[in-house]
Structure 1
Amino acid sequence: MPRTTNEPVPAPKRMANYRQRMRAAGLRPVQIWVPDTRSPDFAEICRRQARAVAASDPAGDDVMRFIEDVYEWPET
């Protein structure tokens, strides 16, 4: 039934409509959790993990080389 008023559509209804359209387009929702780079502890955690990798067996050298290679993403 089409809307006949100028009342805003409630957020849950808008989201349900959006999800329905996305599913109809053959998509499905995926939720991922990533580190919070805004956290005050983020930089120290990164340093600690990098030191642990650097101090590990020679396999850690491959990891550190990879990190150095991708640290500066090339412009395309």
Structure 2
Amino acid sequence: MPARPKKPPPKSPRQRMQARRERLRAEGLRPVQRWVPDLRDPKVRDEIHREAALLSQHPDNASVDDWIDAVVDWSEWT
């Protein structure tokens, strides 16, 4: 019985990720990192609520709401 060829040693997680990145780049993609507010943090949520309360009191709030209602197609939101 002929000897089977040896399997190459398994790749490390770093090598697998590098190979994946190379495949994606070969497909014309590039990595992008996005940072978003951490809504699990109570300080972040408190700040968002504070800012929203300030915005709701803005003197032009009613006219901005009217403009949004005029330009947004709400039928796609259902």
| TM-score range relative to shorter protein | 0.5 to 0.7
TM-score scaled by structure 1? Answer: 0.65
Matches of 2:10 and 2:57, distance apart in 1: 58
**Which amino acid in structure 1 is aligned with residue 7 of structure 2?**
T
State the identity as a percent: 32
Superposed CA RMSD in Å reads 2.8
Q: Which moved more, 1:26-35 or 1:48-57?
A: 48-57
Using the TM superposition, give the Cα deviation of residue 23 of structure 1 relative to its aligned residue in structure 2, in angstroms.
0.4
Correspondence 1:4 to 2:42: no
| Structure 2 unaligned blocks of 5 or more | 1-5
| Structure 1 unaligned blocks of 5 or more | none
Number of corresponding residues: 65
Larger relative contact order (CA 8 Å, sep ≥ 6)? 1
Greater Cα radius of gyration, structure 1 or 2: 2
Matches of 2:42 and 2:12, distance apart in 1: 36
Using the TM superposition, give the Cα deviation of residue 44 of structure 1 relative to its aligned residue in structure 2, in angstroms.
1.3
TM-score scaled by structure 2? Answer: 0.64
